[in-house]
């Protein structure tokens, strides 16, 4: 009987570890991508920018959307840092400055994929069909728990 209880406790601990991934809170994933260069780099300009604010977790840095010319656009995080976590993604959200998780759940989103790292400079290509007049914020979102980690409200430049 003790063996069965021990196996059940062990199974619960393994499942809990898998779901919560507590070691991610202690381990940073650093990324340091160079600013993208294109043949039309001289035409690049900032079209939107905003500073990250913490929501459920601490955050800092700047989110900038660049027009790289030729229909190419890039979202770049500079001096970025946020708490790490399981299944963290980058969203563009059609809500201004959403400081809670419910607003994100009720808003239209455009997912840019999993976060490349929770610390450092990184780039995300934006499809030419993304309507940047619709999306007002960049959100760092934990899909596993449905939690808004951080937000940067995008202001036109």
Condensed to tens digits (0 to 9), the pLDDT of residues 10-37 reads 766 666 666 665 555 556 789 999 998 8
Q: What DSSP state is assigned to residue 99?
A: -
Residue 42 pLDDT more than 70? no
What tens digit of pLDDT does each residue of 67-116 get? Answer: 998 888 999 999 999 988 888 999 999 999 899 999 999 999 999 999 99
What's the mean per-residue pLDDT of the chain? 88
pTM of the model: 0.82
pLDDT of residue 133: 93
With a pLDDT cut of 70, the percent of the chain lying above it is 85
In DSSP notation, 68-79 reads: EETTEEEEEEEE
Per-residue pLDDT band at 5 (split at 50, 70, 90): confident
- Domains of the chain from N-terminus onward: 28-156 (2.60.40.200)
- The dihedral sign for the CA sequence 108, 46, 120, 99: negative
């Amino acid at each position: 009987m003790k063996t069965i209880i021990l196996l059940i406790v062990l199974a619960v601990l393994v499942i809990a570890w898998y779901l919560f991934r507590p070691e991610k809170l202690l381990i940073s994933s650093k990324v340091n991508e160079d600013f993208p260069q294109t043949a039309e780099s001289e035409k690049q300009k900032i079209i939107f920018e905003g500073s990250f604010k913490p929501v459920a977790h601490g955050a800092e840095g700047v989110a900038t959307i660049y027009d790289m010319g030729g229909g190419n656009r890039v979202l770049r995080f500079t001096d970025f840092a946020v708490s790490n976590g399981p299944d963290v993604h980058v969203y563009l959200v059609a809500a201004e400055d959403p400081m809670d998780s419910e607003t994100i759940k009720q808003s239209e989103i455009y997912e840019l994929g999993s976060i490349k790292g929770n610390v450092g400079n990184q780039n995300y290509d934006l499809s030419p069909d993304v309507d940047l007049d619709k999306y007002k914020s960049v959100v760092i979102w934990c899909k596993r728990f449905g939690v808004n980690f951080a937000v940067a409200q995008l202001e036109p430049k």
